[in-house]
Structure 1
Amino acid sequence: MSGVPRGHSSRVRVFVDSARTLRFDDGSPVTAASGVAPLGEGWLIAQDDSTIAAWRRDDGVHPVRVLPPVDGHDAFSEPAGTKHLKPDLEVACPAEVDGEPAVLLLGSGSSPRRMRAVLVRLEGGEPVVHAADLPGLYERVAAGLGLPMDHLNLEGASRHGATIRWFNRGNLNAGVRSASVDVPLEGLVAAVLGRADAAAVAVEQPREYELGEVEGVGLAVTDAIALPDGRTLLSAAAEDTPNAVDDGPVVATAIALLDGETVLAVAPIPELDGHVRKVEGLALRRVEGRRVHLLAVVDDDDPATPSAELELRVHLG
């Protein structure tokens, strides 16, 4: 990605400080990494092509079952003819359960099988998982965004205090902009735990975002994190795909700085070894003045390619 998408300033700069390949302790690859959030002394990484998450700690990368097998499968791919079965967990966001830290994993909603949510928390240092189907909530989100269900593709979320801002990826090829709605964290957690009706969770504050385009392909949100000053950083990818389900070539990725629904700046994520890395998950490590340190995970849309974990440094000009 050269330069900045038309209509945006270059007040933000992005640097890749380090990159590492993600593998489980048995050597098998972590694939299709789509979200990352803190869990205990490590990070929980969602794989959108699997029912297993990866808990990355200093002592290794450990598998965590977050959903039961689907028709006997734990991994899903187009070559295997099982892609349509995958739960497509795209969001990993910090949450709480009864005052204790947890991670909220959310499906994309791009098909009926992908309308699940999972809460992961620690008890005695071990992950405890609770999952639920939430079709009523996904229908409310689509209605709040003014979209038919086949345009729903919820790829990211940022936590703003007691609120989760849930981002729909959008697709300019289909005339759909990136957008978001706000949902109360407490209500969402209660719905996952079966303590409240998912269809009654409030869906508010729809927003749309104009992120620009690169080489004629629109940038669309893949994840988000909230900054301490109330602004938001988005990761975005320019992926040439006709719909919310099929993968396509990614021509560029970027970080965008938002204030509400105003896009203040968009900056390219540098390529690594001449390749665009499709960042799909962001987590905030720390903020030092105008420098924001992020942990990012990459989905290369290839079941044979291990995902990468990147240390990103974002300079806010």
Structure 2
Amino acid sequence: MRVEVTATRRLTFDDGSPVRAASAIVSYGDGWLITQDDSTLGAHWRPGSVLPLRLLDPVEGLDTFASADGSKHLKPDLEAACVLPDGTVLLLGSGSTPARRRGVRLSGQEAVVEDLTALLGRVAVALGVPHDVLNLEVACLVGDRLRWFHRGLPAAGWPSASVDLPLDVPLHEASPDGVLRYDLGTVAGVGLAVTDAVALGEGLVLVSAAAEDSPNTYDDGPLVASALVLLDGDRVLDRAQVPLLDDRIAKIEGLAVVDETGSGARLVATIDADDHTSPSPVLELSVGW
């Protein structure tokens, strides 16, 4: 597989403040919606403009959260995003803490919040992992099912995995099935774990993955590599490392398809630099297989 970075930019809101911790990107209106995993606000990126978009009410009066001020445990961690068949944007919390167990359905400017605690309990059982180990950072549509990926922590024996959910029932009532587990390989002895995914034609899925030597699913760790992996079910068809960005590893956490051909795709990818003071980079990628 060939991966080429064809363009880069750093995202700031129109007022000059940084788009922080960009963790998912999906098509939205005439532009893109980017989630900030440490904020209740998203970023609506349109031609010539980046404006904040409220996704959740403030939590204890806060819209942004960080370890430095002791508020990280409150962050909603909206890491997964996809567009449903009816055009609604679905955003999902990662699930590892009570604050991260909500979903948001965004239709136009209206955001409807859903408690996913019961569903996450069923997902944990299906995956065979403790509830506090859940780290569901990725979602995409595969056929008529929502595939929800658990990033996992390969270094601790928790591989990336996924469950499928039906879309014909309310999400909080859904029963997960179709469990898949992924061996994406290692880089410098550190296992690659899924950070985002997009569905392609013929049932294939392209995932971004990071080899991050984290101590647990809550804290960040040293990043060893970033890669794109082409999957057919749980089978790895191809893999390639993502080129360095300014001589640093580009930790892709958001991935969206611009267009696709039979032998490749153009994509847009967001980078979570794990630094809330730095504008999140956005990459345009050309990928061939």
TM-score range, shorter chain: over 0.9
Deviation at 1:110, TM superposition (A): 1.2
Q: Which residue type is aligned with residue 105 of structure 2?
A: L
The match for 1:114 is 100
Q: Distance in 2 between matches of 1:39 and 1:161?
A: 21
The match for 1:195 is none
Say whether 1:184 aligns with 2:166.
yes
| TM-score, length basis structure 2 | 0.98
The match for 1:238 is 211
Q: Which residue type is aligned with residue 147 of structure 1?
A: V
Helix, strand or coil: the match of 1:138? helix
Q: Which residue type is aligned with residue 238 of structure 1?
A: A
Q: Which residue type is aligned with residue 286 of structure 1?
A: D
* Residues 256 and 269, structure 2, Cα contact 8 Å, conserved in 1: yes
Q: Which residue type is aligned with residue 151 of structure 2?
A: R
The match for 2:23 is 34
Q: Distance in 1 between matches of 2:106 and 2:51?
A: 14
Q: 2:146 aligns with which of 145, 164, 176?
A: 164
Q: Percent identity?
A: 51
Shift in CA distance, 32/258, structure 1 to aligned 2, threshold 3 Å: same
Say whether 1:212 aligns with 2:185.
yes
The match for 2:2 is 13
Q: Distance in 1 between matches of 2:111 and 2:48?
A: 21
Please, which runs of 5 or more residues in structure 2 have no aligned partner? none
Higher relative contact order (CA 8 A, sep 6+): 1
After superposition, give the CA deviation of every residue in 1:209-259 in whole Å (9 maximum; x if it has no partner): 001111111110001011012100000001110111001111110000000
Deviation at 1:81, TM superposition (A): 1.2
| TM-score, length basis structure 1 | 0.89
The match for 2:72 is 83
Helix, strand or coil: the match of 1:186? coil
The match for 1:8 is none
Helix, strand or coil: the match of 2:227? strand
The match for 1:224 is 197
The match for 2:220 is 247
Q: What is the number of residues matched between the two proteins?
A: 289
Q: 1:25 aligns with which of 14, 34, 40?
A: 14
* Residues 13 and 52, structure 2, Cα contact 8 Å, conserved in 1: yes
The match for 1:283 is 256
* Residues 81 and 140, structure 2, Cα contact 8 Å, conserved in 1: no
* Residues 53 and 64, structure 1, Cα contact 8 Å, conserved in 2: yes
Q: Distance in 2 between matches of 1:59 and 1:170?
A: 37
Please, which runs of 5 or more residues in structure 1 have no aligned partner? 1-11, 192-197
Q: Which residue type is aligned with residue 10 of structure 2?
A: T
The match for 1:5 is none
* Residues 162 and 186, structure 1, Cα contact 8 Å, conserved in 2: no
After superposition, give the CA deviation of every residue in 1:44-63 in whole Å (9 maximum; x if it has no partner): 10110000000111130111
The match for 1:104 is 90
* Residues 291 and 314, structure 1, Cα contact 8 Å, conserved in 2: yes
The match for 1:7 is none
Report matched runs for 1:292-303 at 5 Å.
292-303=265-276
Question: Once superposed, which parts of structure 1, at least 4 consecutive aligned residues long, lie more than 4 Å away?
Answer: none
Q: Cα RMSD between the aligned structures?
A: 1.0
